[in-house]
Every structure is written in structure tokens, then in C-alpha cells.
A and B are shown apart, each in its own frame.
Chain A
Amino acid sequence: MKELKLMKGNEAIAEAAIRAGADAYFGYPITPQSEILEYLMAEKPHERTGMVVLQAESEIAAINMVYGGAACGRKVITSSSSPGISLKQEGLSYIAGSELPCVVVNVVRGGPGLGTIQPAQSDYFQAVKGGGHGDYRLIVLAPQSVQEMADFVDLGFELAFKYRNPLMILTDGALGQMMEKVWLQEQKPRMKTFPEWATTGKTPDRERNIITSLDLDSAEQEKFNMKIQEKYRKMEAEEVRFETTDTEDAEYLLVAYGTSARICQKSVRLARDKGIKAGLLRPVTLFPFPKKILSELAGKVRGILTVEMSTGQMVEDVRLAVEGKVQVEHYGRMGGIIPSPEDIVDALGKNFLK
């Protein structure tokens, strides 16, 4: 049955994975997301649902375990933080190239390199443009609360299996570490039947199943590329998710996702208290990106400010969607620093109300 609990975002993801009927989690410790693996180990999901949880020798091994499990048609999830996600990129490319479903959680910390363990949003490019080698995309969900951290695990599996595509939950150290109340869904049973493409053992009634991303025939490889591109276009047509706050009469539009969006909600109120008609567009899916609504809003407002905990990555996609209709500026903090709601209102003023 549904249950209300006070949990860290990382714990909520772990509990949600068990309740979503996940078959396996493979991971490797890294701050600020180690609670996911710790929580799972403490919960003994092998006793609760039969779910496999294994601490791998590296992020590379973990993502390749995800590949092996996903290729058996199972619901498999892994998590890591920025440097570890970089290590997973080879595996993610193979998973996308083999059209396997899985959920990957990136609890982002500041970079580049070893960077910091504090929250950031500087892995946007890596998440939404593919990340590894070759032409592929992940479906990317950006939660802004502990509730969504939990909800997006089940939704993530649903979308990953619908499209036979890896899906990333792009969150950050703030959402991973903070505690909020969260409604946990009822326990879903684990799957008993598996997709027809899964490597579950070749029975006499079917041809053998081969999971591979290799095709040495250039014409066939091009055809495959066109096929997965069609899949991405379908996602863009059918899976765009976003939220708007006070955009009906807005003269200035903030665009932010995740933690930044949460802060921007306060900024909208602060700005309106000062008489500035601000609104907020919060992309929930970062790929597919909410281009259409942005294009519509761009025709109505006098300026757009993107707010990201990075030097400005999503701002490029916003500018592409807006196509020069209106001035688009960026405000961001880096290295683990979270902007305050006041900072954002100040930035709005400096950019547009001089």
C-alpha cells in the first residue's frame, strides 16, 4: 500500500526502485549518492522482492552489468555521480546501440575532473546530447523534489521499456541529500514474462536472440541509425513534459530545471512582490526538450533568463528553441554553489531592467 515517509532523495530513489519491481541494481560508491547502494543493501531487497543488488568493482563494471541484465529483458537500474557517470558513457553508448531499456541516475556534483562533492547541474550537455560515442540520445528526466526522485524511477522504467532506450534521471547532490516527505507507491510485482527480444535462452519455438550494437555493413548501420533517430523524433512528439508557473501574464520568463527550478519558484514570487511580472518554465524532460512551449512563450515575453548551476548549458537549447525571437540570458553559479532566490531576481534586473 501507499506509504508516507520522510526520506533523503537518494533513499527515495532506492526505495522506489524496489517498489517499481526492479530486478537488479548494480552500482559503485561515489559521493553524493552512496546512500542509494547503502539503503538497498540495508533493505535486503533479495528478501523483499528477489531483486538483485550488487556492488561492482567500478562504474564501468556496473554499467556493463546493467547491459547484461537489461539484455535479459529485466528492469535494471544503476546510479552514480558525475565522474562515475563519465566512466559509464561507453556502456551507455552500447546500451543505446543495442536498444536496451534501463534507468541510470546521475546525482550531479560540480566538475570538471574530480571537482567537488557539492551539487551542480554541469552534466546537462553530457546527459541530453548522448554522452558517449555515436549518434544516440537518452530520455532525460529532471526531478525537483524528493517526491519526484521516487516517482521518476517507475516512470523511467515505463518510458525506457516503451522505447527500448536508456533513460537518465538527472538530479543533483542537493536533491539527493535533502529530506522531504514522500508518498511511496504500492509494491509492484516483478515481471514474470519478458520481451521477445530478450536473451532468456533459445527455445525450439523461436530463432536465437542476439544483443549487439555491431553491424559491419555500412548500409545496415546507417539504416539502424535512421531507425533510432525515428525513435527520438517520436519521443519529441509524444513525451515532452514541463511545468509552468505564472506564465499567463509574464513579461519575463525564467527557465530552469531541478534544484534551480525549485529556487526559481521563490524568485518568481519575490519578483512579483517588486512588481516585476516574472514566470517560470520548468522542463521536466530535458530530452525531449520542451521546444514548442518555449517558442510560444518567447513570442509573449520581453526577456528570458535561464538559471542553471553551471556556466550555461541548457541556455543553448533555449536559444535554439527561441530562434532569436527574444533576448535570452543566463545566470548560473558553479562549483557547488547554489544561487539564492534573491540572486536570481537581481540577475533578472541586471539583464533586463537596467
Chain B
Amino acid sequence: MVENTGISDIVKDENLVYQKTKVLTDKVMHYCPGCGHGTAHRLIAEVIEEMDIQAGTIGVTPVGCAVLMYNYLDIDMQEAAHGRAPAVATAIKRLMPDKYVFTYQGDGDLAAIGTAETIHACNRGENIAVFFINNGIYGMTGGQMAPTTLSGMKSSTSPYGRDVQMMGNPLKMTELVAQLPGTWYVTRQAVHTPASVRKAKKAIRQAFENQKLKKGLSLVEIVSNCNSGWKMSPVEANKWMVENMFPFYPPGDIKLEGKMVGKE
């Protein structure tokens, strides 16, 4: 016989401390266990709920692991061609200037095939938010070398490690666009610890809030692991990310209110 555990006495509105935001759908995510995408999605959804802008937000998804993001967020979304999300978002924002518009892009999408669209949307100062997930690899297609793959890092198309003499150097797209007059807020975050998740959420919120100012583009890079692509366990991948990715892609603010951090 099952004893009365008293659950019904505990599950009460006044005892609620946390629940899934309603802006996330109930669809089970396709991401690998341990991947940062799920957390990044949740943070964006929570910010949309907290700002009460579900009806005012249009998202643009990339080609890559996050291509199906529209299955998980309960907002109007457009799926862009590979790399073109900033151009798509430009038109949405120009036609509906009072909406909150964001793109969500991986490193291959934003920093390789979409380099021109990224740089020009930043340079025009489009009043949009760009969320840039950098895991140093092409996740969706099976772990090929990305523009952000570190020197010496192994991938399926740099199986002996990235030889920068032959394959070129890893690209710091975030530092690059911070130089442009059209960017208002540029920051690099991560989502591997509770503390970093809280910081990343603040940055995402800032990127949405900034759209009210109409002063330029906000770009939030989130350095993430790709444990499947890196062929590591989630725990090993996060450790490797801190030890190898962070020295080259250091978390922190790069540009605040249109000014480079640490410069007069």
C-alpha cells in the first residue's frame, strides 16, 4: 500500500521556487546531453518571459545544430539560409522597428559562410541582438573544422590538429565586430557553471533591453562545449573548454555602451 507522502501538501503556488518558462515548448530537445545550446535557449526564453515580450519578439534561426530552435521557443520564428540570419533580421527590424529581433547562430554560420552578413549588419548598427554560440567546431555536420577551431585542435577535417600554416588561423569574430561603430554592446559569456549561466542571462537580457535604445547591435558570444564533436564526456568537455578555449576566447565584456572596455 502506498503511503500518503504529503506531496499534495507541498505542491502549492506559495512554495514554487522554479519552473520551466512558458516561452519554452514541451518539445524534447534534440541536443546532445551536456551541450550548451539547451541552456542558452532556456536563458533567451526566460528573458522573453521576464520582459513580457513574447508577442513582440521575432527570432531568426541559423543552419547548424540550432536550426530547429523554432521547435523549442514559443515565439514567431524564421529559419534563415546558412549564414544569412543577420540579413534576414535586418529586414524584420527595418519593417517592424518596435519588435525585438534576434538571431541565434553558431560559429560556422556566423563566422565563416555568414561573415559578410555579420560584419555589415554590425556595421550598419542594426538594432538587433545576435547570439553567437562558439564551440569551435561544426556540430551538426559531424565535427568538421570551424573558423573558430583552435590552433592544433583536432576535428574531422583537421584530424592531425589545425595546422594554421595550411588551414589558416582561428577567427575572433567577436573582437572583430567590436571594432565597428555600429555595435553598441559586445560581450563573451559561457554557460558551463551556475555562476556563468547567471552572468550569461544578464548579458542576454541586456541585449534585448538595448533594442529600446536604438543605438546599435548587441552581440553576445557564448563559448560552449561540443562534447560529441570534441569526442569527450560532458564533464571532460567543460574542463577542456576552460583550459583551452578560454585562454583564446576569454569571457568578459568587450564593448559597453558603444565604448571598448579598458580603453580611454
Interface residues of A (CB under 8 A from B): 23-24, 26, 52, 54, 56-58, 60-62, 64-69, 71-72, 74, 76, 90-91, 94, 98, 199-204, 208-214
11 A/B residue pairs, CB under 8 Å, sorted by A: A54-B91, A60-B116, A65-B88, A67-B88, A68-B92, A71-B92, A200-B76, A208-B73, A210-B76, A211-B79, A214-B79
Contact (Cβ within 8 A) A201 B58: yes
List, in ascending order, chain A residues with CB within 8 A of B89's CB. 68
Q: Which one of B8-16, B93-101, B130-138, B152-160 contacts A?
A: B93-101
Do the beta carbons of A200 and B70 come within 8 Å of each other?
no
Q: Which of B79, B87, B95 contacts A61, CB < 8 Å?
A: B87
* Contact between chains at A72 and B88 (CB < 8 Å): no
The answer for the CA separation of A69 and B92 in the assembled complex, in Å, is 5
B79→A54 contact, CB < 8 A:
no
The distance in angstroms between the C-alpha atoms of A213 and B78, with both chains bound, is: 10
B75 within 8 Å of A by Cβ?
A: yes
Closest approach, in angstroms, between the C-beta of B111 and any C-beta of chain A? 16
With A57-B116, A61-B120, A64-B117: A202-B76 Cβ-Cβ less than 8 Å:
yes
Chain A residue nearest to B58 in the complex (CB): A199
Chain B residues proximal to chain A, CB less than 8 Å: 54-58, 60-61, 67-68, 70, 73-81, 84, 87-92, 94-96, 99, 116-117, 119-120
Point out the residues of chain A lying under 8 angstroms from B56, CB to CB: 201
Q: Inside 8 A of A66's CB, which chain B residues have their CB?
A: 91
Q: Which of B54, B75, B87 contacts A64 (CB 8 A)?
A: B87
The answer to whether A202 and B55 touch across the interface, beta carbons within 8 angstroms, is yes
The reply to whether A210 and B79 form a contact with Cβ atoms under 8 Å apart is yes
Q: A90, B94: Cβ atoms under 8 Å?
A: no
A64 and B92 contacting across the interface, CB-CB below 8 Å: no
Assess A202 versus B54: contact at CB under 8 Å? Given A61-B120, A68-B88: yes
- Closest-by-CB residue of B relative to A67 is B88
Q: Which of A23, A26, A56 has the most CB of B within 10 A?
A: A56
* Distance between Cα atoms of A213 and B116 in the complex (Å): 23
Contact B58 A74 (CB under 8 A): no
Residues of chain B within 8 A (CB-CB) of A24 are 91, 94-95
Contact B81 A210 (CB under 8 A): no
Are B79 and A201 in contact (CB-based, < 8 A)? no
Q: What are the 3 tightest A-B residue pairs by CB atom distance, in nearest-first order?
A: A68-B91, A68-B88, A212-B79
Once A24-B91, A57-B117 are accepted as A-B contacts, the answer to whether A64 and B77 lie under 8 Å apart by CB is no
Name the CB-closest residue of A to B71.
A210
* Known contacts A54-B94, A57-B120; is-contact A64 B88 (Cβ 8 Å): yes
B70 near A212 with CB under 8 A, answer yes
A94 to B61, CA, bound (A): 14
A61 near B116: Cβ-Cβ < 8 Å: yes
With A74-B95, A202-B55 already in contact, the answer to whether A58 and B78 are too (CB < 8 A) is no
Whole-angstrom distance from the CB of A41 to the nearest CB of chain B?
Answer: 15
Q: Which of B58, B79, B87 has the most CB of A within 10 A?
A: B87
Find chain A residues with CB under 8 A from B94 CB.
24, 52, 54, 69
Whether A208 pairs with B91 at a CB distance below 8 angstroms is no
Q: How far is the CB of B197 from the nearest CB of chain A, in Å?
A: 25
CB neighbours of A71 from chain B (8 A): 78, 88, 92
Report chain A residues within 8 Å CB of B117: 57, 60-61, 64
Q: Which chain A residues border B58 with CB–CB below 8 Å?
A: 72, 199-201
A213 to B61, CA, bound (A): 12
Q: Is the CB of B91 within 8 A of A67?
A: yes
Closest Cβ neighbor of A71 among chain B residues: B78
Given known contacts A64-B84, A68-B87, A69-B91, what 6 new A-B pairs fall within 8 Å (CB)?
Answer: A54-B91, A57-B116, A67-B78, A69-B95, A200-B58, A210-B79
Q: Given contacts A61-B84, A201-B56, is CB(A208)–CB(B77) below 8 Å? A: yes
Complex: chain B residue closest to A56, CB-CB: B87
Given known contacts A24-B94, A64-B117, A69-B95, A199 and B87 CB-to-CB distance under 8 angstroms: no
Roughly how many angstroms separate A149 CA and B139 CA in the complex, as a whole number?
47
A208 touches B84 (CB 8 A): no
| Nearest chain B CB to A128 CB, angstrom units | 23
Contact present for A202 and B91 (CB under 8 Å): no
List of B residues within 8 angstroms of A65 by Cβ:
87-88, 90-91
CA gap between A200 and B90 in the complex, in Å: 14
Question: CB within 8 A of A68: which of B61, B75, B78?
Answer: B78
B81 near A201 with CB under 8 A, answer no
* B55 x A91 contact (CB < 8 A): no
Cβ A52 vs Cβ B84 within 8 A? no
* Residue among B60, B91, B92, B99 with most chain A CB within 10 A: B91
- Residue from the set A58, A64, A208 with the largest chain B CB neighbour count within 10 Å: A64
How distant is the Cα of A66 from the Cα of B92 in the complex, in angstroms? Answer: 9
A58 to B115, CA, bound (A): 12
Task: Tell me the bound Cα distance from A200 to B91 in angstroms.
Answer: 13
Residue of B nearest to A211 (CB): B78
Q: Is the CB of A208 within 8 A of B96?
A: no
Report the separation of the CA atoms of residues A72 and B74 in the bound assembly, to the nearest whole angstrom. Answer: 17
Tell me the nearest residue of chain A to B60, going by C-beta. A68
A203 x B95 contact (CB < 8 A): no
